[in-house]
Chains A and B, each alone.
Chain A
Amino acid sequence: NAGVTQTPKFRVLKTGQSMTLLCAQDMNHEYMYWYRQDPGMGLRLIHYSVGEGTTAKGEVPDGYNVSRLKKQNFLLGLESAAPSQTSVYFCASRHNLAGDQETQYFGPGTRLLVL
């Protein structure tokens, strides 16, 4: 199993450009998450999904949109990139079989630089 994969690994955008980050998992997980990680801030939740076709806002959702059209994929979109969105983005997923005993599996991250 590949686990959680993210595409692309690195991207440079100009302010105002748009892009989509792709997260894919092959573990048949119900829940998927997008986080951003900035120095000194830890991980902050952007959006998450508890199942195919459903999404919910996290801690810092502004400027981002998400879609979960297929169970294995979770897309994060930036409609008009801003320098404040320069960050490392992590996707994660987990089962919902054991409730709060579940742990999350993380992808390798996408480094985004917005100029």
Chain B
Amino acid sequence: SQQGEEDPQALSIQEGENATMNCSYKTSINNLQWYRQNSGRGLVHLILIRSNEREKHSGRLRVTLDTSKKSSSLLITASRAADTASYFCATWGGSFQKLVFGTGTRLLVSP
């Protein structure tokens, strides 16, 4: 079963706007990761946030983590058409041997 559930399933915005997507997970975690998948390609790691961190930044990305609510959010600021992709959260399951991915948020950024 999926550990993470992203919300919304799909998001459509204009270039320059901010995009926020959320991830909820079920069990306690040591860290949570976000990945991006461009259409027809493999996933690419974006950012990792540890369970003792509340917020982390990387360029135009901002990730927050609320372990009490078992949720995380990914904010992309000043979005660009090139940000069009699917975004997945992932957490470790089973002795840190395997990542479990959510169902993803499809982001469409229109010029």
Chain A interfacial positions (CB closer than 8 Å to B): 4, 31, 33, 35, 40-43, 45, 48, 50, 56, 58-59, 90, 92, 99-101, 103-109
Task: Find B103's partner among A41, A56, A59 (CB 8 Å cutoff).
Answer: A41
CB distance from B99 to the nearest CB of A (A): 6
B101 A100 Cβ-Cβ under 8 A = no
Q: Which A residues are CB-close (under 8 A) to B41? A: 108-109
Q: How close is A25's CB to chain B, nearest CB, in angstroms?
A: 12
Number of interface residues of B (CB under 8 A): 23
Contact B98 A4 (CB under 8 A): no
| Apart from the given pairs A33-B98, A99-B96, A100-B31, 18 other A-B contacts in the complex at a CB distance below 8 Å | A4-B42, A40-B103, A42-B101, A43-B43, A43-B88, A48-B97, A48-B98, A90-B43, A92-B42, A101-B31, A101-B48, A104-B45, A105-B45, A106-B43, A106-B44, A109-B40, A109-B41, A109-B42
Chain B neighbourhood of A31, CB < 8 A: 97
Could you tell me if A42 and B45 are in contact, using CB atoms closer than 8 angstroms?
Answer: no
User: Hey, which chain A residues are within 8 Å of B96, CB to CB?
Assistant: 99-100
Q: How far is the CA of A99 from the CA of B31 in the complex (A)?
A: 11
A103-B101 contact in complex given A43-B88, A108-B42, A109-B40, C-beta closer than 8 Å: no
Q: Residues of B contacting A109 with CB < 8 Å?
A: 40-42
Contact B48 A104 (CB under 8 A): no
- Chain A nearest CB: distance from B47 CB in Å? 9
Q: How far is the CA of A41 from the CA of B99 in the complex (A)?
A: 15
The smallest beta-carbon distance between A59 and chain B, in angstroms, is 8
B101 contact from A4, A43, A50, Cβ within 8 A = A43
Contact among A4, A35, A58, A103 with B45 in the assembled complex (CB-CB below 8 Å): A103
| B33 located at the interface, meaning its Cβ lies under 8 Å from any Cβ of chain A in the complex | yes
Give bound CA distance, A4 to B30, whole Å. 26
B51 to A, closest residue via Cβ = A100
Q: What's the minimum C-beta distance from B3 to chain A, rounded to whole angstroms?
A: 10
